[in-house]
Structure 1
Amino acid sequence: MEKLIITPKTKIFDLLEAYPQLEDILIQAAPPFKKLRNPVLRKTIAKITTLSQAATIGGLKVEELINKLRTEVGQANVEVVGDKGENYVTEKPSWFNENNVAETIDIREMLNAGDQPVHEVMSAIKKLNDTEILKVVAPFVPAPLLDKSLSMEYKHWLDKKDSEEYWVFFIK
């Protein structure tokens, strides 16, 4: 069987299917990854989260994470790769006004139930009027959600409350 080549676009699920021994390496690299041991999150989040997004969630440089994993399985190191995480807005933007928060979605329950929140959140953003803001509460940086919103040209603000709680505000 052809072994998976590890790249920033590699999905965590595929990585761990091909190289189950890398789970401990991922968890050592970034403590938030210990959530991968939860079988429900493993089936949902891991299927859509790329290593590039995972590096962002873990506060790591993408190439460092990729090279650490590649070294473990005998693949050559990669040069510097682009990091999409630098596109995330973490400074309070001028458009933000607490009074304009029209809806709050806490995706922690969805994730724990094994549901994928991207579609529900995108649907909620589409329903907003021009000044309304959607607030999303997440247990980690929801990189797949942020990347999807960026691809649709929605604005966001990622506000870290603590290591287990992030608030993301979206506006059209």
Structure 2
Amino acid sequence: MVEIERKFLVKNEDFKAEFYQKNRITQGFLNTDPLRTVRIRIKDETAFLTVKGKNNEAGLSRFEWEKEIDKTEAEALLKLCEPGMIDKARFLVKSASHIFEVDEFYGENEGLIVAEVELASETENFEKPKWLGQEVTGDPKYYNSQLSKNPYKSW
């Protein structure tokens, strides 16, 4: 239940020539407290309730619990969320032995593209694709919970 990941900006759209899966995601937050965020997510026709804890000092790992829920229930819960929804497409891209989740944001966060890679340990090495840019791991302004309150277009 501990998630270890690193997050990067994406320099260009070259990843679109490499992806093997794409999903549309809508999500809102019932709670955006940095100590515990509670998220409702609809990914195509599947829905999830997710609770995330506070990041460690390096910003690389944190507690994460996720449960699939009924899509109709998720749609009702989205109406209770704090203001600011996240709308994005997620592209899955395989790079060597890792899978990068590349999120292209829409709406108030249009123009922002970030990539995350989950790791087995905080010191695990991985191959960086050419389209990967500056690392933003641990920078709160790139957390979806913060993008819902302070969108990219307002920076």
Q: Give the TM-score normalised by structure 1.
A: 0.22
| Structure number, greater radius of gyration | 1
- By relative contact order (CA 8 Å, sep 6+), the higher-ranking structure is 2
**Higher helix proportion (structure 1 or 2):** 1
**Higher strand proportion (structure 1 or 2):** 2
